[in-house]
Amino acid sequence: MDRTAETRTGASLWKESFYAAFPRTLPILPSLIALAVTYGVLMTASGFGWIWTVLMSAVAFCGTAQFAAIPLMLGGFAPVQGFILSFLINSRHLFYGIPLLDTFKKAGKLRPFMIFALNDEAFAISCSTEPDPRISRVHYHFWVTMLTYTGWVGGTMLGAAAGRLITGNVAGLDFAMTALFIVMFLEQIRKKEKIKFAGIGLCCSIVALLIVGSAAYMIPAMAIMVVCLLGGRGRKWI
Between residue 166 and residue 205, which ones bind another protein under the rule CB under 8 A? 169, 171-173, 175-189, 194-195, 197-202, 204-205
Residues in region 1-60 near another protein by CB under 8 A:
31, 34-35, 38, 47-48, 52, 55-56, 59-60
Q: With CA atoms as reference, report the closest residue to 162 among 51, 44, 52, 10.
A: 44
Closer by beta carbon to another protein, 115 or else 135: 115
**74 scored as a contact of another protein (CB under 8 A):** yes
Of 238, 227, 226, 224, the closest CA to residue 194 belongs to 238
| 238 part of the interface to another protein, by CB under 8 A | no
Q: Is 34 in contact with 44 (CB distance < 8 Å)?
A: no
Q: Interaction with another protein in 98-117: which residues (CB under 8 A)?
A: 98, 101, 104, 115-116
Gap between the Cα atoms of 114 and 9, Å rounded? 22
Given a contact cutoff of 8 angstroms between Cβ atoms, the answer to whether 122 and 145 are in contact is yes
Amino acid letter for position 56: M
Q: What residues between 114 and 173 interact with another protein by CB under 8 A?
A: 115-116, 118, 169, 171-173
Binding-site member from 3, 134, 233, 235 for another protein (CB under 8 A)? 233
**Cα first-last separation, the chain:** 69
The piece of 4-12, 17-25, 152-160, 216-224 that touches another protein (CB under 8 A) is 216-224
Q: How far is residue 18 CA from its own chain's centroid? A: 22
Residue 97 and residue 84 in contact, taking contact as beta carbons nearer than 8 Å:
no
- Whichever of 1 and 80 has its CB closer to another protein, that residue is 80
- Smallest gap from residue 59 Cβ to another protein (A): 4
SS3 130: coil
* Binder of another protein out of 91, 134, 236, 238 (CB under 8 A): 91
